[in-house]
Amino acid sequence: MIDSTTQPRSAPALLALAVVLFASVWPAMKFGLAESSPVWFATGRAGLSAVAGFALVAALGRLRLPGRWDWPIVLSIGGLQLGAYFGVCLVALEQLPAGRSALLGYTTPIWILPLAWPLLGERPRGRDLVGLLVGLTGIAVLVGPSLLDPALLTGHVLMLIGSGLWAVAILHTRGHRWHLTPLELLPWQMLVATLLLIPFALWHEPQGGIAPTPTALLPLAYVGLLAGPIASWASLSAARALPASMTSLGFLMTPVLGVIISALWLGEAIGLDMLIGGALILTGVGVTLRR
């Protein structure tokens, strides 16, 4: 299996694979929620991904126990980017269409700009502020129609909170001194996410669970065992072999493809607010990613 030594000629294929898998996760989760409660589904996803992650790094001969300098990033990404993000976004996905959730779920680069200033002392430049303004306008276009519907508004707000938590975790990775590689730490982070989500699921959804039916189990297996771990491995391998501009552009296509797959698979309508808001969000993200 290809690892971080991936050659450039195979890296574009890995990037494309990661984009397709990440995009397909949103409609798959939406489909699985028909017979599952959201936090338990998030817990199952994290647990299966932890198992798959440990199997993957063991197969690559890279299973390592994190040292004391690695644990802060394990807890940060496991708690914020994986545990909290999974839980919050699955609760939001119960209220929102999958395509809309994919767009809002990838607004993370927009939130990095205002957070990087107080946390890392990085002052945004003029072009950064333009990207931030355009992205926020797109978010307002998407959220606006939900202001009269409390359930939809809650879903939108939760998705944005999840993206903000992911942004905080990313900022931590930028200031972290890595000892083990991100791939070697990934299963430990998934394990932390699982351990955090279990008590939250017991508290928030004491009567919830995952139905023992194909409608629930097949999407869970796809997301937890296949799409999540393989996409994470493929994206890490591609990012270390390709120019940053190419990987940024590739991942920018993830929410676009998520909207398309959701429309084809789940029959979700793509309204004018999705087209305008989505275009503005992607433009804002694209401008900020150029940094």
Q: Max CA-CA distance within the chain?
A: 54
Q: Quick one: pLDDT at residue 1?
A: 40
Quickly list DSSP for 24-69. Answer: HHHHHHHHHGGGB-HHHHHHHHHHHHHHHHHHHHHHTT------TT
Q: Quick one: pLDDT at residue 37?
A: 97
Domain ranges of the chain: 11-289
The two tokens of residue 104 are 């809002």
Contact 106, 159 (CB under 8 A): no
Residue 43 buriedness (CB in 10 A; 0-12 / 13-18 / 19+): buried
φ/ψ (deg, to 5) at 61: 70, 30
Strand stretches in 127-274, DSSP E:
none
Average confidence (pLDDT) per 10 residues, the chain, 291 residues: 53 87 94 96 95 91 92 92 93 94 89 82 81 92 88 93 90 81 90 96 95 96 89 76 71 89 93 92 81 59
Residue showing tokens 């989505």: 278
